[in-house]
Amino acid sequence: MIRIHGTAKSRAFRCLWAAGESGLPFEHLDHPASRSPEFLRLNPSGKIPAMEDGELILFESLAINLHIARKAGAPLWPAGDDASRALQWTLWAATEAEPHVLSWGSNSYARPPEERDAAAAAKAVANLMPRLDVLEGALAGRAHLLGDAFTIADCNLAGVLYATWKHGFDLSAHPRTKAWLTRCLSRPAAEAARALRE
Ligand SMILES: N[C@@H](CCC(=O)N[C@@H](CS)C(=O)NCC(=O)O)C(=O)O
């Protein structure tokens, strides 16, 4: 049984979404990050999410999602070269998109107003724009990142971009991206995970 640790108001959201998409049985342990010895056994960084699956313990939300998808198989885990493309988009989400999404979010809505840095928010927008251009190009003529079918590539990247879609980032220059985010985040498994945090 897959056990996902962490409140849905954290990156555990994306793991709860992937678990829902997988159709595999899973359990959600809704708690904050912790430095307790029990929790540090799961993630020595003391951060959430963490996952247990039998003897396997994993941290890093996107790695957890890749494990869940690989275990579920097709269509969530795509076949052949598309599996490598799913890894590519997952690493792209973590390295090219997430740092700027986090900076934009913390400086535009998440922190108390007096702690926000408008210049940092503007810089994050400037950094995100060329990345969104890349995504917009990748979505030309296709409903999802790898073609017609929703895969873990969509779950991982849309999970990372969720805050932009939810909190009013201007996506008007990227209509395919906006429509794709709406398509992904309106799936029943996404809505179930969103209901735990919104
Ligand atoms: N790269 C990690 C980041 C984990 C992370 O920073 N989690 C946050 C919540 S979203 C956390 O536990 N923060 C509490 C802390 O840093 O003590 C992942 O994707 O799982």
**Calpha distance 69→118 (Å, rounded):** 38
Express each pLDDT in 93-140 by its tens digit.
999 999 999 999 999 999 999 999 999 999 999 999 999 999 999 999
Q: How far apart are the first and last CA of the chain?
A: 26
> Is 90 exceeded by the pLDDT of residue 13?
yes
Q: Residues with beta carbon inside 6 Å of ligand 1? A: 10-11, 33, 46-49, 60-62
- Ligand 1 atom nearest residue 10's Cα: 10
> Is 90 exceeded by the pLDDT of residue 171?
yes
Region 36-50: mean pLDDT is 96
> Is 90 exceeded by the pLDDT of residue 48?
yes
pLDDT at 197: 97
Residue type for position 71 = K
**Calpha distance 176→13 (Å, rounded):** 24
Phi, psi of 5 (to 5 degrees): -100, 130
> Is 90 exceeded by the pLDDT of residue 147?
yes
**Could you tell me the distance, in angstroms and rounded to a whole number, from the CA of residue 6 to the centre of ligand 1?**
10
pLDDT at 105: 98
In order of their start, the domains of the chain are 2-75 (3.40.30.10), 81-193 (1.20.1050.10)
> Strand order in 56-59's β-sheet?
26-29, 2-5, 50-53, 56-59
**Could you tell me the distance, in angstroms and rounded to a whole number, from the CA of residue 22 to the centre of ligand 1?**
23
pLDDT band at 182 (very low <50, low <70, confident <90, very high): very high
Express each pLDDT in 50-72 by its tens digit.
999 999 999 999 999 999 999 99
Region 33-39: mean pLDDT is 92
Residue type for position 5 = H
- Ligand 1 atom nearest residue 11's Cα: 10
Region 176-189: mean pLDDT is 98
**Closest Cα to atom 18 of ligand 1:** 60
**Closest Cα to atom 16 of ligand 1:** 47
- Ligand 1 atom nearest residue 32's Cα: 12
pLDDT at 117: 98
> Is 90 exceeded by the pLDDT of residue 14?
yes
Region 68-92: mean pLDDT is 98
**Could you tell me the distance, in angstroms and rounded to a whole number, from the CA of residue 11 to the centre of ligand 1?**
7
pLDDT at 119: 98
**Closest Cα to atom 13 of ligand 1:** 47
pLDDT band at 33 (very low <50, low <70, confident <90, very high): confident
Q: What is the average pLDDT value for the chain, to the nearest integer?
A: 97
